[in-house]
Protein backbone atom coordinates (compact mmCIF):
# COMPACT_ATOMS: atom_id res chain seq x y z
CA UNK A 1 0.00 0.00 0.00
CA UNK A 2 1.35 3.42 -0.99
CA UNK A 3 1.32 5.89 1.89
CA UNK A 4 -1.18 8.68 1.22
CA UNK A 5 -1.43 10.07 4.74
CA UNK A 6 -1.74 13.65 3.49
CA UNK A 7 -5.15 12.90 1.98
CA UNK A 8 -6.19 10.41 4.65
CA UNK A 9 -5.68 13.07 7.29
CA UNK A 10 -7.86 15.48 5.32
CA UNK A 11 -10.66 12.91 5.22
CA UNK A 12 -10.28 12.27 8.94
CA UNK A 13 -10.36 15.99 9.69
CA UNK A 14 -13.49 16.51 7.57
CA UNK A 15 -15.28 13.40 8.89
CA UNK A 16 -18.89 14.03 9.96
CA UNK A 17 -18.65 17.77 9.26
CA UNK A 18 -22.14 17.99 7.76
CA UNK A 19 -20.85 18.43 4.19
CA UNK A 20 -20.54 16.03 1.28
CA UNK A 21 -16.88 15.18 0.73
CA UNK A 22 -16.13 15.49 -2.99
CA UNK A 23 -12.88 13.74 -3.93
CA UNK A 24 -11.55 15.21 -7.16
CA UNK A 25 -8.38 14.84 -9.20
CA UNK A 26 -7.03 13.73 -12.51
CA UNK A 27 -8.08 10.26 -13.63
CA UNK A 28 -6.04 7.36 -12.27
CA UNK A 29 -4.46 9.40 -9.48
CA UNK A 30 -5.83 7.10 -6.76
CA UNK A 31 -9.10 8.71 -5.65
CA UNK A 32 -11.10 5.47 -5.44
CA UNK A 33 -8.32 3.56 -3.68
CA UNK A 34 -7.99 6.36 -1.15
CA UNK A 35 -11.66 6.15 -0.26
CA UNK A 36 -12.50 2.46 -0.61
CA UNK A 37 -9.28 1.03 0.77
CA UNK A 38 -7.20 3.46 2.81
CA UNK A 39 -10.02 5.46 4.41
CA UNK A 40 -12.32 2.47 4.87
CA UNK A 41 -9.50 0.57 6.63
CA UNK A 42 -9.05 3.56 8.93
CA UNK A 43 -12.75 3.57 9.84
CA UNK A 44 -12.80 -0.16 10.50
CA UNK A 45 -9.69 0.05 12.67
CA UNK A 46 -11.33 2.92 14.55
CA UNK A 47 -14.23 0.70 15.59
CA UNK A 48 -16.78 1.45 12.86
CA UNK A 49 -18.79 -1.67 12.01
CA UNK A 50 -18.68 -2.90 8.42
CA UNK A 51 -22.47 -2.67 8.09
CA UNK A 52 -22.23 1.06 8.81
CA UNK A 53 -20.07 1.61 5.71
CA UNK A 54 -22.25 1.67 2.60
CA UNK A 55 -20.25 1.45 -0.62
CA UNK A 56 -21.19 1.32 -4.28
CA UNK A 57 -19.01 1.48 -7.40
CA UNK A 58 -21.16 2.64 -10.25
CA UNK A 59 -18.67 1.55 -12.91
CA UNK A 60 -19.35 -2.09 -11.97
CA UNK A 61 -21.54 -3.57 -14.73
CA UNK A 62 -23.72 -5.20 -12.07
CA UNK A 63 -24.62 -1.75 -10.73
CA UNK A 64 -25.92 -0.16 -13.93
CA UNK A 65 -29.42 -0.19 -12.45
CA UNK A 66 -28.24 2.48 -10.03
CA UNK A 67 -27.37 4.90 -12.79
CA UNK A 68 -31.01 5.86 -12.30
CA UNK A 69 -30.93 8.37 -9.41
CA UNK A 70 -34.19 7.08 -7.98
CA UNK A 71 -32.85 3.51 -7.82
CA UNK A 72 -29.56 4.69 -6.29
CA UNK A 73 -31.44 6.62 -3.64
CA UNK A 74 -33.59 3.57 -2.78
CA UNK A 75 -30.53 1.30 -2.59
CA UNK A 76 -28.65 3.52 -0.15
CA UNK A 77 -31.62 4.38 2.04
CA UNK A 78 -32.49 0.68 2.37
CA UNK A 79 -29.00 -0.07 3.71
CA UNK A 80 -28.85 2.77 6.26
CA UNK A 81 -28.98 1.46 9.83
CA UNK A 82 -30.95 3.67 12.19
CA UNK A 83 -29.21 3.18 15.53
CA UNK A 84 -27.89 6.69 16.19
CA UNK A 85 -24.46 5.71 14.89
CA UNK A 86 -22.92 7.26 11.79
CA UNK A 87 -23.48 5.59 8.42
CA UNK A 88 -20.58 6.32 6.04
CA UNK A 89 -21.78 6.40 2.43
CA UNK A 90 -19.19 5.97 -0.35
CA UNK A 91 -20.32 6.45 -3.97
CA UNK A 92 -17.69 5.92 -6.67
CA UNK A 93 -18.06 7.33 -10.21
CA UNK A 94 -21.09 9.42 -9.27
CA UNK A 95 -21.07 11.07 -12.71
CA UNK A 96 -22.47 7.87 -14.23
CA UNK A 97 -25.83 8.69 -12.66
CA UNK A 98 -28.08 10.01 -15.43
CA UNK A 99 -30.68 12.74 -15.24
CA UNK A 100 -34.23 11.35 -15.41
CA UNK A 101 -37.64 12.96 -15.64
CA UNK A 102 -39.22 14.01 -12.39
CA UNK A 103 -42.47 12.02 -12.26
CA UNK A 104 -44.05 14.61 -10.00
CA UNK A 105 -43.20 17.73 -11.97
CA UNK A 106 -43.43 17.89 -15.74
CA UNK A 107 -40.40 19.40 -17.47
CA UNK A 108 -38.02 18.97 -14.55
CA UNK A 109 -35.19 16.47 -14.03
CA UNK A 110 -33.70 14.52 -11.13
CA UNK A 111 -29.95 13.82 -11.04
CA UNK A 112 -27.12 12.80 -8.75
CA UNK A 113 -27.08 16.19 -7.03
CA UNK A 114 -30.62 15.60 -5.79
CA UNK A 115 -29.65 12.17 -4.45
CA UNK A 116 -26.68 13.57 -2.53
CA UNK A 117 -28.55 16.54 -1.09
CA UNK A 118 -31.32 14.20 0.04
CA UNK A 119 -28.92 11.80 1.74
CA UNK A 120 -27.29 14.66 3.60
CA UNK A 121 -30.60 15.40 5.32
CA UNK A 122 -30.66 11.93 6.89
CA UNK A 123 -29.49 11.97 10.54
CA UNK A 124 -26.11 10.32 11.08
CA UNK A 125 -25.28 10.07 7.36
CA UNK A 126 -21.77 11.07 6.24
CA UNK A 127 -21.51 11.19 2.44
CA UNK A 128 -18.41 10.81 0.21
CA UNK A 129 -18.35 10.80 -3.61
CA UNK A 130 -15.70 10.46 -6.30
CA UNK A 131 -15.92 10.89 -10.05
CA UNK A 132 -13.73 10.50 -13.11
CA UNK A 133 -14.93 12.57 -16.02
CA UNK A 134 -14.49 16.21 -16.88
CA UNK A 135 -17.89 17.19 -15.52
CA UNK A 136 -17.21 15.62 -12.14
CA UNK A 137 -13.61 16.79 -12.09
CA UNK A 138 -14.49 20.37 -12.95
CA UNK A 139 -13.08 22.90 -10.51
CA UNK A 140 -16.63 24.23 -10.17
CA UNK A 141 -18.00 20.91 -8.88
CA UNK A 142 -18.77 22.25 -5.42
CA UNK A 143 -21.36 24.63 -6.87
CA UNK A 144 -23.42 21.57 -7.82
CA UNK A 145 -23.91 20.90 -4.14
CA UNK A 146 -25.09 24.44 -3.42
CA UNK A 147 -22.45 25.32 -0.88
CA UNK A 148 -22.70 21.99 0.94
CA UNK A 149 -19.61 20.38 -0.59
CA UNK A 150 -16.12 20.01 0.84
CA UNK A 151 -13.43 19.18 -1.70
CA UNK A 152 -10.41 16.92 -1.22
CA UNK A 153 -8.24 17.33 -4.29
CA UNK A 154 -6.00 14.31 -4.91
CA UNK A 155 -2.85 14.61 -7.00
CA UNK A 156 -0.56 12.00 -8.53
CA UNK A 157 2.10 10.74 -6.13
CA UNK A 158 4.37 13.42 -4.76
CA UNK A 159 8.06 12.63 -5.02
CA UNK A 160 8.14 11.67 -1.33
CA UNK A 161 5.20 9.28 -1.73
CA UNK A 162 6.86 7.82 -4.81
CA UNK A 163 10.29 7.59 -3.15
CA UNK A 164 8.99 5.84 -0.03
CA UNK A 165 7.14 3.25 -2.15
CA UNK A 166 10.04 2.76 -4.58
CA UNK A 167 11.53 -0.70 -4.03
CA UNK A 168 14.48 -0.52 -6.44
CA UNK A 169 17.80 1.26 -6.03
CA UNK A 170 16.81 4.62 -4.50
CA UNK A 171 19.46 6.39 -6.55
CA UNK A 172 17.31 5.70 -9.62
CA UNK A 173 14.09 7.04 -8.11
CA UNK A 174 14.51 10.61 -9.37
CA UNK A 175 15.21 9.56 -12.95
CA UNK A 176 12.25 7.21 -13.04
CA UNK A 177 9.96 9.80 -11.48
CA UNK A 178 10.76 12.54 -13.99
CA UNK A 179 10.34 10.09 -16.87
CA UNK A 180 7.21 8.17 -15.90
CA UNK A 181 5.57 10.39 -13.31
CA UNK A 182 3.52 9.55 -10.26
CA UNK A 183 0.29 7.83 -11.28
CA UNK A 184 0.07 5.03 -8.70
CA UNK A 185 -0.42 2.14 -11.16
CA UNK A 186 2.97 2.96 -12.68
CA UNK A 187 4.57 1.61 -9.49
CA UNK A 188 3.24 -1.88 -10.24
CA UNK A 189 4.75 -2.06 -13.73
CA UNK A 190 8.30 -3.38 -13.96
CA UNK A 191 8.94 -3.03 -17.68
CA UNK A 192 9.59 0.51 -18.91
CA UNK A 193 7.88 -0.23 -22.22
CA UNK A 194 4.75 -1.16 -20.28
CA UNK A 195 4.95 2.08 -18.32
CA UNK A 196 5.20 4.12 -21.52
CA UNK A 197 2.31 2.28 -23.21
CA UNK A 198 0.11 2.68 -20.15
CA UNK A 199 0.62 6.44 -20.14
CA UNK A 200 0.08 6.79 -23.90
CA UNK A 201 -3.12 4.73 -23.71
CA UNK A 202 -4.47 6.92 -20.93
CA UNK A 203 -4.37 9.86 -23.32
CA UNK A 204 -5.98 8.14 -26.29
CA UNK A 205 -8.55 6.11 -24.37
CA UNK A 206 -9.46 8.41 -21.49
CA UNK A 207 -8.22 11.99 -21.22
CA UNK A 208 -8.69 13.31 -24.74
CA UNK A 209 -11.96 11.44 -25.23
CA UNK A 210 -13.29 12.74 -21.94
CA UNK A 211 -12.38 16.36 -22.73
CA UNK A 212 -13.92 16.17 -26.20
CA UNK A 213 -17.13 14.50 -25.01
CA UNK A 214 -17.72 16.94 -22.19
CA UNK A 215 -16.89 20.09 -24.14
CA UNK A 216 -18.37 19.20 -27.54
CA UNK A 217 -15.20 19.84 -29.53
CA UNK A 218 -14.95 16.69 -31.64
CA UNK A 219 -14.66 18.66 -34.89
CA UNK A 220 -11.33 20.10 -33.72
CA UNK A 221 -9.70 16.97 -32.33
CA UNK A 222 -6.52 17.51 -34.37
CA UNK A 223 -6.15 21.07 -33.11
CA UNK A 224 -6.80 19.94 -29.55
CA UNK A 225 -4.02 17.36 -29.83
CA UNK A 226 -1.62 19.82 -31.49
CA UNK A 227 -2.24 22.39 -28.74
CA UNK A 228 -1.56 19.80 -26.07
CA UNK A 229 1.70 18.87 -27.79
CA UNK A 230 2.77 22.51 -27.94
CA UNK A 231 2.04 23.00 -24.24
CA UNK A 232 3.89 19.76 -23.48
CA UNK A 233 6.97 21.09 -25.27
CA UNK A 234 6.91 24.45 -23.52
CA UNK A 235 6.38 23.69 -19.83
CA UNK A 236 7.81 26.49 -17.76
CA UNK A 237 7.83 28.94 -20.67
CA UNK A 238 5.75 32.11 -20.70
CA UNK A 239 3.02 32.04 -23.29
CA UNK A 240 -0.55 33.16 -23.96
CA UNK A 241 -3.44 32.30 -26.32
CA UNK A 242 -2.49 35.01 -28.83
CA UNK A 243 1.08 33.74 -29.06
CA UNK A 244 -0.18 30.18 -29.47
CA UNK A 245 -2.58 31.31 -32.19
CA UNK A 246 0.34 32.79 -34.10
CA UNK A 247 2.27 29.54 -33.65
CA UNK A 248 -0.56 27.59 -35.28
CA UNK A 249 -0.56 30.02 -38.18
CA UNK A 250 3.20 29.99 -38.75
CA UNK A 251 3.95 26.32 -38.03
CA UNK A 252 0.73 24.51 -38.90
CA UNK A 253 -0.68 27.04 -41.35
CA UNK A 254 -3.95 26.78 -39.42
CA UNK A 255 -6.04 29.81 -38.51
CA UNK A 256 -7.45 29.41 -35.01
CA UNK A 257 -8.52 32.30 -32.83
CA UNK A 258 -6.93 33.10 -29.51
CA UNK A 259 -10.41 32.85 -27.95
CA UNK A 260 -10.75 29.24 -29.10
CA UNK A 261 -7.28 28.41 -27.83
CA UNK A 262 -8.06 29.98 -24.48
CA UNK A 263 -11.19 27.83 -24.25
CA UNK A 264 -9.22 24.66 -25.01
CA UNK A 265 -6.59 25.55 -22.42
CA UNK A 266 -9.34 25.97 -19.84
CA UNK A 267 -10.66 22.52 -20.80
CA UNK A 268 -7.22 21.07 -20.02
CA UNK A 269 -7.12 22.93 -16.71
CA UNK A 270 -10.67 21.95 -15.75
CA UNK A 271 -9.79 18.29 -16.25
CA UNK A 272 -6.75 18.84 -13.97
CA UNK A 273 -4.41 17.74 -16.75
CA UNK A 274 -2.46 21.01 -16.57
CA UNK A 275 -2.35 24.02 -14.25
CA UNK A 276 -1.52 27.63 -14.97
CA UNK A 277 0.66 29.97 -12.94
CA UNK A 278 -0.15 33.66 -13.25
CA UNK A 279 2.48 36.38 -13.62
CA UNK A 280 2.87 38.67 -10.60
CA UNK A 281 4.64 42.02 -10.45
CA UNK A 282 6.56 41.91 -7.16
CA UNK A 283 7.32 45.63 -7.05
CA UNK A 284 3.91 46.80 -8.26
CA UNK A 285 2.12 44.16 -6.16
CA UNK A 286 -0.33 43.28 -8.93
CA UNK A 287 -1.06 40.50 -11.39
CA UNK A 288 -0.14 40.81 -15.03
CA UNK A 289 -2.86 39.24 -17.15
CA UNK A 290 -0.52 37.80 -19.75
CA UNK A 291 1.60 35.80 -20.39
CA UNK A 292 1.22 32.69 -18.21
CA UNK A 293 3.11 29.50 -17.50
CA UNK A 294 1.56 26.05 -17.78
CA UNK A 295 2.68 22.96 -15.88
CA UNK A 296 1.59 19.33 -16.18
CA UNK A 297 -0.06 17.69 -13.19
CA UNK A 298 1.85 14.51 -14.01
CA UNK A 299 5.15 14.49 -15.87
CA UNK A 300 4.71 10.94 -17.11
CA UNK A 301 1.63 12.06 -19.02
CA UNK A 302 3.51 15.07 -20.36
CA UNK A 303 6.37 12.89 -21.56
CA UNK A 304 3.97 10.39 -23.13
CA UNK A 305 2.54 13.19 -25.27
CA UNK A 306 6.00 13.73 -26.73
CA UNK A 307 6.87 10.02 -27.00
CA UNK A 308 9.46 10.51 -24.23
CA UNK A 309 11.69 12.43 -26.63
CA UNK A 310 11.90 15.82 -24.87
CA UNK A 311 12.92 15.30 -21.26
CA UNK A 312 14.93 18.46 -20.64
CA UNK A 313 15.77 18.06 -16.98
CA UNK A 314 15.94 21.82 -16.37
CA UNK A 315 12.28 22.38 -17.29
CA UNK A 316 11.16 19.05 -15.87
CA UNK A 317 12.70 19.89 -12.49
CA UNK A 318 10.85 23.20 -12.48
CA UNK A 319 7.57 21.35 -13.14
CA UNK A 320 8.28 18.89 -10.31
CA UNK A 321 8.93 21.75 -7.86
CA UNK A 322 5.72 23.49 -8.95
CA UNK A 323 3.69 20.33 -8.35
CA UNK A 324 5.28 19.84 -4.94
CA UNK A 325 4.44 23.39 -3.89
CA UNK A 326 0.83 22.89 -4.95
CA UNK A 327 0.76 19.57 -3.08
CA UNK A 328 1.94 21.41 0.04
CA UNK A 329 -1.02 23.76 -0.24
CA UNK A 330 0.61 26.86 -1.69
CA UNK A 331 -0.91 29.15 -4.28
CA UNK A 332 1.90 29.59 -6.79
CA UNK A 333 2.60 32.53 -9.10
CA UNK A 334 5.44 33.43 -11.45
CA UNK A 335 7.22 36.54 -10.18
CA UNK A 336 8.68 39.42 -12.18
CA UNK A 337 10.72 42.31 -10.84
CA UNK A 338 11.57 45.35 -12.92
CA UNK A 339 15.18 46.52 -12.59
CA UNK A 340 16.33 49.97 -13.66
CA UNK A 341 20.08 50.40 -14.15
CA UNK A 342 22.77 52.16 -16.18
CA UNK A 343 24.84 50.29 -18.75
CA UNK A 344 28.59 50.71 -19.33
CA UNK A 345 27.92 53.83 -21.40
CA UNK A 346 25.82 55.41 -18.67
CA UNK A 347 22.53 54.92 -20.50
CA UNK A 348 19.39 54.13 -18.52
CA UNK A 349 18.25 50.57 -19.05
CA UNK A 350 15.28 48.55 -17.88
CA UNK A 351 15.21 44.81 -17.39
CA UNK A 352 12.70 42.31 -16.03
CA UNK A 353 14.03 39.73 -13.60
CA UNK A 354 12.07 36.51 -13.13
CA UNK A 355 11.44 34.75 -9.84
CA UNK A 356 10.35 31.24 -10.73
CA UNK A 357 7.81 30.86 -7.94
CA UNK A 358 6.09 33.14 -5.46
CA UNK A 359 4.35 30.81 -3.02
CA UNK A 360 1.53 32.02 -0.79
CA UNK A 361 -0.33 30.17 1.97
CA UNK A 362 -2.27 32.25 4.45
CA UNK A 363 0.04 34.98 5.69
CA UNK A 364 3.16 33.05 4.71
CA UNK A 365 5.14 33.70 1.55
CA UNK A 366 8.20 32.02 0.04
CA UNK A 367 10.27 32.92 -3.04
CA UNK A 368 11.81 29.97 -4.90
CA UNK A 369 14.26 29.80 -7.78
CA UNK A 370 14.75 26.54 -9.70
CA UNK A 371 18.38 26.86 -10.77
CA UNK A 372 19.36 23.28 -11.75
CA UNK A 373 23.11 23.96 -11.78
CA UNK A 374 25.29 26.79 -10.41
CA UNK A 375 28.62 26.09 -12.12
CA UNK A 376 30.19 29.53 -11.71
CA UNK A 377 29.96 32.59 -9.43
CA UNK A 378 28.47 34.48 -12.38
CA UNK A 379 25.71 31.87 -12.72
CA UNK A 380 24.97 32.21 -9.00
CA UNK A 381 24.69 36.00 -9.31
CA UNK A 382 22.43 35.60 -12.31
CA UNK A 383 20.05 33.22 -10.53
CA UNK A 384 19.74 35.19 -7.28
CA UNK A 385 19.68 38.67 -8.82
CA UNK A 386 15.90 38.93 -8.49
CA UNK A 387 15.81 37.41 -5.00
CA UNK A 388 18.41 39.85 -3.69
CA UNK A 389 16.31 42.80 -4.92
CA UNK A 390 13.32 41.68 -2.85
CA UNK A 391 13.68 43.42 0.49
CA UNK A 392 11.00 41.73 2.59
CA UNK A 393 11.85 39.12 5.24
CA UNK A 394 10.14 36.08 3.75
CA UNK A 395 12.12 32.92 2.93
CA UNK A 396 14.12 32.85 -0.28
CA UNK A 397 15.26 29.46 -1.60
CA UNK A 398 17.38 28.33 -4.54
CA UNK A 399 16.79 24.67 -5.49
CA UNK A 400 19.56 22.94 -7.46
CA UNK A 401 19.78 19.48 -8.99
CA UNK A 402 22.90 18.33 -7.13
CA UNK A 403 22.75 16.70 -3.71
CA UNK A 404 24.40 19.51 -1.73
CA UNK A 405 24.70 20.29 1.95
CA UNK A 406 21.93 22.86 2.62
CA UNK A 407 23.38 26.28 3.37
CA UNK A 408 22.58 29.98 3.48
CA UNK A 409 24.57 32.80 1.93
CA UNK A 410 25.23 36.31 3.24
CA UNK A 411 21.88 37.46 1.79
CA UNK A 412 19.97 34.89 3.82
CA UNK A 413 19.14 32.85 0.71
CA UNK A 414 18.84 29.10 1.33
CA UNK A 415 20.43 26.64 -1.13
CA UNK A 416 19.23 23.02 -1.21
CA UNK A 417 19.31 20.02 -3.54
CA UNK A 418 16.04 19.15 -5.26
CA UNK A 419 15.61 15.68 -3.76
CA UNK A 420 16.18 16.92 -0.22
CA UNK A 421 13.76 19.79 -0.87
CA UNK A 422 11.10 17.36 -2.09
CA UNK A 423 11.60 14.87 0.73
CA UNK A 424 11.67 17.38 3.59
CA UNK A 425 8.87 19.90 4.09
CA UNK A 426 10.86 21.86 6.68
CA UNK A 427 12.29 24.03 3.91
CA UNK A 428 8.84 25.52 3.22
CA UNK A 429 7.50 25.46 6.77
CA UNK A 430 7.19 28.39 9.17
CA UNK A 431 9.30 26.63 11.77
284 CB neighbour count, 10 Å cutoff: 11
Q: What pLDDT was estimated at residue 236?
A: 87
Alpha helices of 153-257 — where are they, by DSSP H?
159-165, 173-180, 192-202, 208-215, 221-233, 241-247
Q: What pLDDT was estimated at residue 146?
A: 66
pTM of the entire structure?
0.92
Q: CA 416, 419, 423 angle in degrees (round to 5)?
A: 100
220 CB neighbour count, 10 Å cutoff: 15
End-to-end CA distance of the chain: 31
78 CB neighbour count, 10 Å cutoff: 8
pLDDT digits (tens, 9 = 90+) for 94-132: 888 999 999 889 999 998 889 998 999 999 999 999 976
Q: What pLDDT was estimated at residue 219?
A: 67
Sign of the dihedral through C-alpha 336, 337, 342, 343? negative
Percent of the chain as helix, strand, coil, to the nearest 5: 45, 25, 30
Rounded Cα distance between 369 and 381, Å, is 12
Kindly give the confidence (pLDDT) of every residue in the chain, 431 residues in length, as a single tens digit, with 9 standing for 90 and above: 798 999 999 999 999 999 999 998 888 999 999 999 999 999 999 999 999 999 999 989 999 999 999 999 999 999 999 999 999 999 998 888 999 999 889 999 998 889 998 999 999 999 999 976 555 545 456 666 767 888 899 999 999 999 999 999 999 999 999 999 999 999 999 999 999 999 999 988 888 888 887 777 776 788 889 999 999 999 989 999 999 999 999 988 889 999 999 999 988 888 889 999 999 999 888 998 889 999 999 999 999 999 998 888 999 999 999 999 999 999 999 999 987 777 777 777 788 899 999 999 999 999 999 999 998 999 999 999 999 999 899 999 999 999 999 999 999 999 999 999 999 999 998 76
Amino acid sequence: MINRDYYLNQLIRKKENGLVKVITGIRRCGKSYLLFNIYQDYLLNSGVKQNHIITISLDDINNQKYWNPNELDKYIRKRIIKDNKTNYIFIDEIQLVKDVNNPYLEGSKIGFTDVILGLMKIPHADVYVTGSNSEMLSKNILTKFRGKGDQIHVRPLSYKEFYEAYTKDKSRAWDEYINYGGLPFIMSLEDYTDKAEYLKNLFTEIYIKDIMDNNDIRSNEAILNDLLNIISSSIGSLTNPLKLSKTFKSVKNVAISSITIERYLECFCDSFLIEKAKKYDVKGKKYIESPLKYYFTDLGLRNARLNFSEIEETHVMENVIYNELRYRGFNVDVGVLELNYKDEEGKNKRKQLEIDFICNKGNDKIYIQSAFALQTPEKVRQEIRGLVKIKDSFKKIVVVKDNIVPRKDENGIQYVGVEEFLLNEQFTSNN
